[in-house]
Amino acid sequence: MSRILITGGAGFIGSHLADRLLAAGHTVVVLDNLFTGHLRNISHLAGHERFRFIKHDVTEYIYVDGKVDVILHLASLPSPVDYLREPIKTLKVGALGTHKALGLARAHRATFLLASTSEVYGDPQVHPQPESYWGNVNPIGPRGVYDESKRFAEAMTMAYHRYHAIDTRICRIFNTYGPRMRVDDGRVVTNFIAQGLRGHPLTVYDDGSRTRSFCYVSDLVEGMVRLLESGEADPVNLGNPTEMTVLDFAKTVQRLTGGKSEIVFVSPKDERTKDDPHIRQPDVTRARKILRWDPVVGLEDGLQRTIEYFRTVLGADAL
């Protein structure tokens, strides 16, 4: 069994990874400054003999006593609300944070997995997006702080792999949803579910024709664990290849949350949709071939689980 460090481990995906790895018998150390993560995501692990939490900013020097066998680097500001409000912090986490985490991996000769993103493809001109596509990113646009932070993180990871012979993995994560998402993170899943449960209109940007592909968190975690065990250094897409329009997704959430909310079309007054991808669908051919992985949780099943979680979090405000 390994001792595994998860940066950003109090976040949505990181906390689910912690659960999975502890269940497999590993020892897990979560490092998080709680800027976007939350203690409630890992509170159920308090007192676990193989779990430890360290409150720390990944952009500062990282010290962990004892041996570290694996580092899963998930620390980032991935939601539009966060990276538009904190552009410099977003860049620092992607650049300095990745450098510090890779430095720790080098010191311990640990396997390193970078949680990258489909945003490295930008607003794609190739569809669906294979790992071989270099992307269409506006480096000076408002979204560029997140896109380029992850592109830099990938370049840094490969540099450590080639120059320092670090055993590395790169996971390009497409839209993922599930329990423990932040209600206020500004993403389409959380926006629609919170609006639907509160009986507010579901606000669809522009005409709703943009497309997305939604992967349930347990499927993503399964793919990440398989990637970690694979020995594959080149990037691998992980996401659900079933594509749908944002409008169709809104109609699904509308129905599953009770059907009381109307759908309204709005033009955002901020920069939230500037350079926003018009299409998004992962080509998961490599994941199927290398990892023998495919998502298994259907959209409605996953949404029902997520909606129940949101009912609990929102409480009386959802009624």
- Domain residues for 57? 3-176+216-238
Q: Quick one: tokens of 82?
A: 């966060």
Q: Domain holding 193: CATH number?
A: 3.90.25.10
- For residues 273 and 246, the answer to whether their CB atoms sit within 8 Å is no
How many domains is the chain built from?
2
CB-based burial label for 40 (10 Å; 0-12, 13-18, 19+): exposed
* One domain, residues 131 and 203: no
* One domain, residues 203 and 93: no
* One domain, residues 158 and 256: no
- For residues 139 and 148, the answer to whether their CB atoms sit within 8 Å is yes
- For residues 305 and 259, the answer to whether their CB atoms sit within 8 Å is no
Q: Is residue 127 part of a domain?
A: yes
Q: Is residue 289 part of a domain?
A: no
* One domain, residues 16 and 105: yes
* One domain, residues 229 and 147: yes
CB-based burial label for 262 (10 Å; 0-12, 13-18, 19+): exposed
Q: What angle do CA 218, 219, 221 make, to 5 degrees?
A: 65
- For residues 76 and 120, the answer to whether their CB atoms sit within 8 Å is no
* One domain, residues 147 and 250: no
Q: Is residue 221 part of a domain?
A: yes
- For residues 230 and 291, the answer to whether their CB atoms sit within 8 Å is yes
Q: Domain holding 127: CATH number?
A: 3.40.50.720
Q: pLDDT truncated to tens, each residue of the chain (319 aa)?
A: 899 999 999 999 999 999 999 999 999 999 999 999 999 999 999 999 999 999 999 999 999 999 999 999 999 999 999 999 999 999 999 999 999 999 999 999 999 999 999 999 999 999 999 999 999 999 999 999 999 999 999 999 999 999 999 999 999 999 999 999 999 898 999 999 999 999 999 999 889 999 999 999 999 999 999 999 999 999 999 999 999 999 999 999 999 999 889 999 998 766 666 778 899 999 999 999 999 999 999 999 999 999 999 999 998 444 4
DSSP 3-state of 73: strand
Question: How many residues does this entry show for the chain?
Answer: 319
* One domain, residues 246 and 195: yes
Q: Is residue 231 part of a domain?
A: yes
Q: Quick one: tokens of 121?
A: 């493809």
* One domain, residues 110 and 132: yes
* One domain, residues 202 and 258: yes
Angstrom CA distances, 242 to 26, 138, 215, 286, 298, stand at 33, 26, 9, 16, 10
DSSP 3-state of 276: coil
**Which pLDDT score is estimated for 1?**
87
Residue 74: which of 60, 93, 56, 89 has the closest Cα?
Answer: 93
* One domain, residues 142 and 16: yes
Backbone angles phi, psi at 164, to 5 degrees: -105, 5
Backbone angles phi, psi at 105, to 5 degrees: -60, -40
Q: What angle do CA 166, 284, 162 make, to 5 degrees?
A: 15
Q: Is residue 288 part of a domain?
A: no
Pairing of strands 27-32, 51-55: parallel
Q: Is residue 51 part of a domain?
A: yes
Q: Is residue 291 part of a domain?
A: no
* One domain, residues 155 and 259: no
Q: Is residue 254 part of a domain?
A: yes
Q: Which residues are paired to 117 by β-bridges?
A: 173
Element (H, E) at 100: helix 98-108
Residue 247: which of 207, 302, 290 has the closest Cα?
Answer: 207
DSSP conformation class of 284: -
What positions carry a catalytic annotation?
A: 146
**Which pLDDT score is estimated for 213?**
96
- For residues 182 and 79, the answer to whether their CB atoms sit within 8 Å is yes
* One domain, residues 109 and 147: yes
